[in-house]
């Protein structure tokens, strides 16, 4: 059996991106976490029992971006040139925006999505002692750029 004949049966496999051009690629994802009003007050005042939830969630998200290929079975490992995670208080909870960038043969959507998703999970961990019903109500890609398919923005 030669190299080129593997996978012909359509099983799960990491797609070969070896023929793609390395280009600058970026992605932006957003997570929204709904919190009880009392939790929002504690969060804003720094009164949560486990400590500074926003700093913990931000750093957890940044670190998770780097672990995306370990967590997501068919995600390609690649060098990241930038990651950022921002959290802001909204009326009913917290909005998390995560961006990732690379110069590589494949995109960084999963890095941005994983950063936003794990930041949201870490935030849940910080508040669950006082707000077990807190819920991640959205985790989605907002935009991506780079590569053959160019720019995509959520409509």
Please choose, from the candidates 145, 144, 34, 31, the residue with its C-alpha nearest in 3D space to the C-alpha of residue 97: 31
Between 40 and 147, CB nearer to a second copy: 147
* Helices 109-127 and 37-45, packing angle to 10 deg: 100
Beta-bridge mates of residue 96 = 31, 87
76 is in an annotated binding site: yes
Query: Residue 131 in 3-state DSSP?
Result: coil
Between 40 and 110, CB nearer to a second copy: 110
CA distance 1 to 58: 47
The structure tokens listed for 151 are 């720019």
CA distance 119 to 65: 10
6 is in an annotated binding site: no
CB of 124 to a second copy, least distance (A): 6
Catalytic residue among 7, 16, 52, 125: 125
CB of 39 to a second copy, least distance (A): 14
CB of 66 to a second copy, least distance (A): 5
91 is in an annotated binding site: no
- 52 belongs to the catalytic site: no
Between 40 and 136, CB nearer to a second copy: 136
Binding residues for substrate: 74-76, 110-111
Please give the positions annotated as active site: 125
């Amino acid at each position: 059996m030669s190299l080129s004949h593997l996978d012909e049966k359509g099983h799960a496999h990491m797609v070969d991106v070896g023929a793609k051009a390395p280009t600058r690629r970026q992605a932006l994802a957003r997570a929204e976490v709904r919190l009880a009003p009392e939790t929002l007050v504690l969060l804003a005042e720094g009164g949560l029992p486990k400590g500074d939830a926003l700093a913990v969630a931000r750093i957890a998200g940044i670190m998770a971006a780097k672990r995306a290929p370990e967590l997501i079975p068919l995600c390609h490992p690649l060098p990241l040139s930038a990651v950022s995670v921002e959290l802001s208080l909204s009326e009913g909870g917290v909005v998390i925006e995560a961006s990732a960038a690379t110069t590589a043969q494949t995109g960084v959507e999963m890095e941005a999505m994983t950063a936003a998703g794990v930041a949201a999970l870490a935030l849940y961990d910080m508040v669950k002692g006082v707000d077990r019903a807190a819920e991640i109500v959205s985790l989605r890609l907002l935009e991506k750029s780079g590569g053959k398919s160019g720019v995509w923005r959520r409509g």
